[in-house]
Amino acid sequence: MQHGPLKLKLQLLCGEGTAMGPGKADLLDAIGREGSISAAGRALGMSYRRSWLLVDEMNRCFRAPLVDAVSGGGAGRGARLTEAGRAALTAYRDLEAAAAVAADTDAYRLLVDAMLDAPRPQGAGAGA
Amino acid sequence: MQHGPLKLKLQLLCGEGTAMGPGKADLLDAIGREGSISAAGRALGMSYRRSWLLVDEMNRCFRAPLVDAVSGGGAGRGARLTEAGRAALTAYRDLEAAAAVAADTDAYRLLVDAMLDAPRPQGAGAGA
């Protein structure tokens, strides 16, 4: 999540894994929109294997699965967000919004005022 | 920065570079404590080259340099935080603290209650 020059990354850790983070939340959004894990992955420029692994990790990190994948052939595998999936996605977006209040502080304004828009070229350092 | 399972990463982008982030803030802390870039890098398990590059990137991203490196031989190179460096470090820590209010929201509690402490083993999926 980005606010001007401020980039905020929120992750919910689950043992060695990550239950939720920016990539997983975007994937949930895309699954809700696209109706399948493969189409969601494609929409995000992600391999099917990678998107499937992210879904699997999420499902294993929550008490109830977030994505219900309808396996089997025919017209391709479909997938949809469960009620737990929709609730977790909404809560994660709310959490991001809560953290973003950092961009409305004097500390943020002080940093932005002290920064340049782009790095000074190497060798032109101001006393470095 | 971590609060229970919540990991928060704040970066201030500067063109293609990063003016400030968790690693750079820790390095500023260590330079303030150790009095040199090499000792600070060592304390953080970072090569001298890597710590020097981080300092150089910071100095080039701010109007005034954050670290004043006394180059030259003798008893080794010393370095200290400038007034701008101390101000930027304090502001960044304040910014982190402001973002951390996210951990005091219903959204956070909902997510934590829905999560497991560690991922369920592969193959034991609840409907995955």
Contact between chains at B59 and A88 (C-beta distance less than 8 A) = no
- The more confident residue out of A75 and A20 is A20
Integer Cα distance of B111 and B113 in angstroms: 5
Closest to A50 measured CA to CA, from A59, A40, A60, A64? A40
- Tell if the pTM clears 0.80, that is, is over it: yes
pLDDT tens, position by position, A29-70: 999 999 999 999 999 999 999 999 999 999 999 999 999 987
Beta carbons of A99 and B8 less than 8 Å apart: yes
B105 neighbourhood in chain A, CB within 8 Å: 94-95, 98
Amino acid at B7: K
Which candidate, B82, B51, B77, places its Cα nearest to that of B64? B82
Write out pLDDT tens, residues A85-121. Answer: 999 999 999 999 999 999 999 999 999 999 999 999 9
Q: What are the angstrom distances between the C-alpha of B43 and each of B35, B48, B67, B75, B80?
A: 11, 11, 17, 19, 15
pLDDT of residue B70: 79
Q: Which of A84, A94, A121 sits opposite B114 (nearest CB)?
A: A84
Q: Which residue of A has its CA nearest to B58?
A: A119
- Of residues B128 and A125, which shows the higher confidence score? A125
Note whether B62 contacts A11, CB cutoff 8 Å.
Answer: no
Query: A118 versus B126: which is more confidently predicted?
Result: A118
Q: Is B5 in contact with A13 (Cβ distance < 8 A)?
A: yes
* Cβ contact B60–A119 (<8 Å): yes
Q: Kindly report the nearest CA distance between residue A121 and chain B, in angstroms.
A: 7
**B16/A5 Cβ within 8 A:** no
Q: Least CA distance to A84: which residue of chain B?
A: B114
pLDDT in tens, B54-85: 999 999 999 999 999 876 655 556 999 999 99
Interface predicted TM-score of the whole assembly (ipTM), two decimals? 0.87
